[in-house]
Amino acid sequence: MTAASDGTRPVDAVTARVKAVYGGWRRSTPVARMRADWDGLFGHTPAGVAVEPVAVGPLAAEWMRAPGTRRDRAVLYLHGGGFQVGSPLSHRELMAAISAAAGCAVLGLAYRLAPEHRFPAALEDAVAAYGWLRAAGFAPGRLAFAGDSAGGGLALSTLLALRGKGQALPAAAALLSVWTDLTASGESYRTRSAADPIHQRPMIQAMAAQYLGEDGDPMDPLASPLFADPRGLPPLLLQVGDRETVLSDSVAFAERAQAAGVAAELQVYPDMIHVFQQFPRDLPEARAAIAAIGDFLAAHFDKDED
């Protein structure tokens, strides 16, 4: 990792930008402002990428298509943001990069957010979006899931819900800094507390409480996939930074999945922060990780030609 002329490392520079947004929030900050701030931080659309708004039933969504991508394969992307902030806009740059790397279109879903819409609203929306893609003509082998943080956990929950309904599952799923345990019980909340510049256990627990509401159970497998039986899930790629307090969420789930016979690959990136892949213009590690995501997804799509 190369430092700037002033000695600042790229990862520290992007961390400072994220913390500047977090630092402006107070308990009294309206959620609408938080969402606008988050979109403003990440809402960059790369040149040459086609952005097509589309209605997925009652929900807004965006197709992201990098130049030269195929239209017979698609990735359903579920954005992060603690189930309270984030949108297709905040994840355009990341989705565009995944589109280019995987050689296919990416559909970013604006699923319903808490506190207006608590669990299981987001899960219902993700399941419905998969049905919408199937109805649009995409076979399961031509579909994949991807998501970061809360969206990564939502991707896993969606796979579990589809499996419970007896539906055919997509070809694969890529999970970035995935949040699998809403109880925040992993050992990395202790061992990475000093290293993680952004997320600490109280914040994670507060986001979980907002998502679940008073009557929600943080150990519900459809809210916390770590507590689910992962048997029968498709191949998974889990990427996480070594500085993250949610490191254990990826490590523990990968271990459970592997023990259950799931092809789960875990990639831990030294010195990286939460969802570092959102900074491909700044971090070579982000570009390398996105390339690995593209290779993984492309390798698992159905290879039959139309």
The pLDDT value recorded for residue 305 is 47
Given the residues 87, 99, 149, 177, select the one marked as catalytic: 149
The pLDDT value recorded for residue 8 is 81
Separation of alpha carbons 240 and 269, rounded Å: 6
Separation of alpha carbons 12 and 198, rounded Å: 11
* Omega prior to 120 cis, within 30 of 0: yes
Spatial CB neighbours of 88, under 8 Å, sequence gap ≥ 6: 60, 61, 62, 77, 79, 95, 108, 109, 110
149 is catalytic: yes
The pLDDT value recorded for residue 304 is 57
**Token digits for 52?**
């097509």
pTM of the model: 0.96
Low-confidence ranges of the chain (pLDDT < 70): 1-7, 304-306
For the chain, domains (ranges, CATH) are 47-300 (3.40.50.1820)
Can you give the length of the chain in residues? 306
**Token digits for 28?**
């009294």
Residue 303: burial class (beta carbons within 10 Å; 0-12, 13-18, 19+)? exposed
